[in-house]
């Protein structure tokens, strides 16, 4: 190691910053996060430093640096563009045995400022020993995206119970098992969901032995329309910690590549008139797996609450007192239309948008056609490929123009993304004469005209 990693307590400790520009301002703000008492010395300062002084957050000395400014500080930072001054500050600090950091001059530093992931009291510092600070920041960005902000609250909660856990479990292995279970189970998930008081009660109940701590949890996760980059951070985290994944046919292969490697995979895909597992069976399976103490991810294409039967599944979970949480996903209408260059609303073409399922629970397509067949509205039909002729006939029969633009988006947002455009009257012929694969979304409305101008995703594909 070029530098020994160490965390220093500078709470209410005197720290000196030499320089008053934008870089110095950033360093000052970093030190303020650690509650340092800061004196800044500089003959000229940026607006940010001046405002901090006006707010009494720092002591500002508007003058040139002098050797006497180095006294008994806990640490010193020099952030000027004067090489001679930076060298002087470094030498004075080292002579006084005070840790010193000179910005962008590793050879003058006795310590370096790392890139920081702050989840206080959890703090992660990343350093390249001054060799590649941009790379360190990129690594920090990756960690920021995978570590929930609530980890700090979880650490604080654990600290409040540390004494009780130590008193209950005399062996360190027992304590470690208890905390590992807490940090990867319902208690942690409640903290992440903002239910800190509930998490505290659950943790206390587990210590008191007054709860069934062996019960698992179900995560109802929206996997989005196909592109794995559209997953939320929370969806990805739960997918990677679940013991069991129940997934359907609308979840793309690319999204499935991101689930936990050793998780048990159970396919429960449903097609029209061909359900590999009936819905009631899926509902009961979620309950049974959770009662075995498993962490179960019910992974759905799109969003669980938009034609995803998520409501039916969590009704069963609630009736059986199974802990669950729901993670929304980007629904197919939004993802497919965006990747096709078709805005669902536009001031010149559409002031409203309706999402409609292509077939009801009884298999029919009995819809309020007169409400749908109006101008200045976009209609998005889910699961309607087989009913394309019927919807074309019914919309026209209820007054919609036959030349109304229509788009069929096939396997939207995935590498196989394909868009077919036609008119409402010609829609049945298109479906009959072209080989179009599910999942396919049908968009009806004047906004489809904008695809020619706004299409961006297909334009980026290699020819």
pLDDT score, position 360: 58
Rounded Cα–Cα distance for residues 191 and 368 (Å):
43
- Identify whether 69 is part of a domain: yes
Active site residue 208: no
CB 126 within 8 A of CB 156: no
Write out residues in the chain with pLDDT < 70, as ranges: 210-213, 270-276, 359-364, 459-463
Do 35 and 109 sit in the same domain of this protein?
Answer: yes
Q: Going by C-beta distance under 8 Å and a sequence separation of 6 or more, which residues neighbour residue 119?
A: 147, 148, 149, 151, 152, 155
- The alpha carbon dihedral of 183, 189, 193, 194 has a sign of negative
- Identify whether 199 is part of a domain: no
Instruction: Tell me which of 90, 113, 136 is where a domain ends.
Output: 113
What is the total residue count of the chain? 463
What domain range is 375 assigned to? 333-460
Measured CA to CA in angstroms, residue 121 lies from 9, 77, 152, 396, 416 at distances of 12, 24, 5, 63, 45
Measured CA to CA in angstroms, residue 104 lies from 77, 91, 93, 403 at distances of 11, 16, 17, 64
Do 295 and 390 sit in the same domain of this protein?
Answer: no
Do 359 and 443 sit in the same domain of this protein?
Answer: yes
Do 351 and 324 sit in the same domain of this protein?
Answer: no
User: What 3-state DSSP class applies to 13?
Assistant: coil
Radius of gyration of the chain (CA): 30
Rounded Cα–Cα distance for residues 356 and 377 (Å):
13
Residue 253 annotated as lining a ligand binding site: no
* Helix 47-54 and helix 22-33, axial crossing angle in degrees, nearest 10: 40
Residue 215 annotated as lining a ligand binding site: no
Residue 383 annotated as lining a ligand binding site: yes
Active site residue 234: no
Kindly report the pTM of this predicted structure: 0.71
Do 265 and 384 sit in the same domain of this protein?
Answer: no
Do 447 and 361 sit in the same domain of this protein?
Answer: yes
Q: Which of 153, 248, 300, 411 is catalytic?
A: 248
- Identify whether 129 is part of a domain: no
Rounded Cα–Cα distance for residues 19 and 16 (Å):
10
Helical (H) or strand (E) element with 125: strand 122-126
Instruction: Tell me which of 309, 330, 351 is where a domain ends.
Output: 330
Do 318 and 340 sit in the same domain of this protein?
Answer: no
- Identify whether 78 is part of a domain: yes
Residue 331 annotated as lining a ligand binding site: yes
What is the DSSP secondary structure assignment for residue 215, as one 8-state letter? -
Helix, strand, coil share (%) of the chain residues, nearest 5: 40, 20, 40
- Identify whether 358 is part of a domain: yes
- Identify whether 313 is part of a domain: yes
- Give the total number of structural domains in the chain: 3
Instruction: Tell me which of 330, 345, 361 is where a domain ends.
Output: 330
What is the DSSP secondary structure assignment for residue 295, as one 8-state letter? E
Strand partners, 444: 379, 406
- Identify whether 155 is part of a domain: no
The model's pLDDT over 381-417, given as tens digits with 9 standing for 90+, comes to 998 998 999 999 999 999 999 999 999 999 999 989 9
- Identify whether 178 is part of a domain: no
pLDDT score, position 147: 84
Do 355 and 318 sit in the same domain of this protein?
Answer: no
CATH of the domain at 429: 3.30.950.10
Do 353 and 326 sit in the same domain of this protein?
Answer: no
pLDDT score, position 364: 66
Residue 22 annotated as lining a ligand binding site: yes
Provide the 10 A C-beta neighbour count for residue 452.
9
Residue 412 annotated as lining a ligand binding site: yes
Rounded Cα–Cα distance for residues 167 and 151 (Å):
24
Q: Which of 13, 195, 270, 386 is catalytic?
A: 270
Strand partners, 61: 41
* Helix 172-183 and helix 151-168, axial crossing angle in degrees, nearest 10: 150
Do 350 and 451 sit in the same domain of this protein?
Answer: yes
Do 360 and 273 sit in the same domain of this protein?
Answer: no
Rounded Cα–Cα distance for residues 69 and 64 (Å):
10
Do 453 and 357 sit in the same domain of this protein?
Answer: yes
């Amino acid at each position: 190691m070029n530098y020994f990693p160490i965390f220093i307590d500078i709470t209410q400790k005197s720290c000196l910053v030499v320089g008053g520009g934008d870089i110095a301002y950033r360093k000052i703000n970093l030190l303020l996060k650690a509650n340092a008492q800061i004196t800044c010395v500089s003959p000229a300062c940026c607006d940010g430093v001046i405002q901090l002084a006006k707010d009494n957050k720092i002591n500002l000395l508007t003058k040139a640096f002098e050797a006497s400014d180095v006294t008994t500080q806990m640490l010193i930072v020099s952030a000027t563009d004067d090489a001679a001054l930076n060298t002087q500050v470094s030498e004075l600090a080292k002579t006084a045995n005070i840790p010193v950091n000179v910005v962008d001059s590793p050879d003058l530093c006795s310590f370096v400022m790392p890139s920081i992931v702050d989840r206080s009291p959890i703090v992660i510092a990343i350093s390249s020993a001054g060799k590649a600070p941009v790379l360190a920041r990129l690594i920090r960005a990756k960690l920021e995206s995978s570590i929930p902000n609530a980890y700090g609250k979880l650490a604080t909660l654990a600290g409040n119970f540390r004494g009780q856990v130590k008193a209950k479990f005399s062996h360190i292995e027992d304590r470690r098992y208890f905390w590992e279970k807490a940090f990867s189970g319902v208690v942690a998930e409640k903290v992440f969901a903002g239910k800190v008081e509930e998490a505290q009660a659950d943790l206390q109940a587990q210590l008191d032995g007054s709860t069934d701590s062996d019960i698992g949890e179900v995560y109802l996760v929206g996997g989005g329309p196909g592109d794995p980059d559209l997953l939320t951070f929370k969806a990805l985290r739960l997918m990677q910690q679940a013991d069991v994944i129940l997934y359907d046919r609308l979840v793309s292969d690319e999204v499935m590549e991101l689930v936990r490697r050793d998780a048990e995979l159970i396919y429960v895909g449903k097609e029209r008139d061909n359900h590999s597992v009936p819905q009631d069976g899926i509902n009961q399976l979620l309950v049974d797996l959770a009662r075995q103490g498993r962490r179960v991810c019910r992974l759905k294409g799109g969003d669980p609450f938009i034609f995803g039967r998520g409501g039916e599944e969590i009704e069963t979970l609630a009736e059986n007192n199974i802990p669950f949480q729901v993670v929304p996903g980007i629904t197919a209408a939004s993802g497919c239309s965006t990747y096709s260059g078709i805005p669902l609303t536009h001031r010149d073409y559409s002031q409203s948008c309706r999402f409609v399922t292509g077939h009801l629970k009884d298999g029919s397509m009995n819809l309020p056609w007169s409400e749908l067949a109006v101008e200045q509205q976009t209609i998005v039909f889910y699961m309607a490929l087989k009913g394309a002729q019927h919807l074309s006939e019914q919309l026209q029969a209820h007054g919609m123009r036959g030349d109304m633009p229509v788009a069929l988006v096939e396997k939207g947002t995935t590498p196989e993304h394909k868009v077919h455009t036609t008119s409402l009257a010609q829609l049945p012929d298109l479906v009959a004469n072209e080989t179009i694969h599910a999942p396919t979304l049908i968009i009806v409305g004047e906004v489809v005209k904008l695809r020619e101008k706004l299409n961006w995703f297909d334009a980026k594909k290699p020819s």
